[in-house]
Amino acid sequence: DQQVKQNSPSLSVQEGRISILNCDYTNSMFDYFLWYKKYPAEGPTFLISISSIKDKNEDGRFTVFLNKSAKHLSLHIVPSQPGDSAVYFCAASARNYGQNFVFGPGTRLSVLP
């Protein structure tokens, strides 16, 4: 049973427009969420995080939104750049329960020039 889902395997966006990557989870104990970016032949790179006590966290062009009632989070990239083309992984953990991070299957973002 997949606890963290990323239902869109791929997404294409025009350069300069907004990219929205979605993530859904099933475990209501999850209280901390991360987004990672992965380029080919490299390990995942930490991008941004959000705690369940917040509903938004922003870092430059990247904003993560958390909707706890819907068990849904999204990553917004504005404006999108060709260098943002990568696979994005959503990860979640139940820190207060000592659980390790669980990763989603990833969404491949292509930003077209």
Partner 1 sequence: EAGVVQSPRYKIIEKKQPVAFWCNPISGHNTLYWYRQNLGQGPELLIRYENEEAVDDSQLPKDRFSAERLKGVDSTLKIQPAELGDSAVYLCASSSSRNSEAFFGQGTRLTVV
Out of 4, 73, 86, 109, name the contact with partner 1 by CB under 8 A.
4
The CA distance from 107 to 39, in Å, is 12
Residue 26 identity: T
> 77 vs 87, which CB is nearer to partner 1?
87
Are β-strands 56-59 and 32-38 bridged in parallel, bridged antiparallel, or unpaired? Answer: unpaired
* Contact partners, residue 95, CB within 8 Å, separation at least 6: 31, 32
Measured on CA atoms in the order 79, 69, 6, 106, is the torsion positive or negative? positive
Residue placing its CB nearer to partner 1 in the complex, 23 or 111: 23
**Residue from 8, 27, 49, 74 binding partner 1 (CB under 8 A):** 49
Of residues 22-41, those binding partner 1 (CB under 8 A): 32, 34, 36, 41
64 binds partner 1 (CB under 8 A): no
**Contacting residue, 13, 50, 106, 109, with partner 1 by CB under 8 A:** 106
Mark 5-28 as b/e (b = at least 16 C-beta within 10 Å): bbeeeebebeeeeebbbbbbbebe
Decide if residue 104 touches partner 1 (CB under 8 A). yes
Give the binding site for partner 1 (CB under 8 A). 4, 9, 32, 34, 36, 41-46, 49, 89, 91, 93, 95, 98, 100-101, 103-106
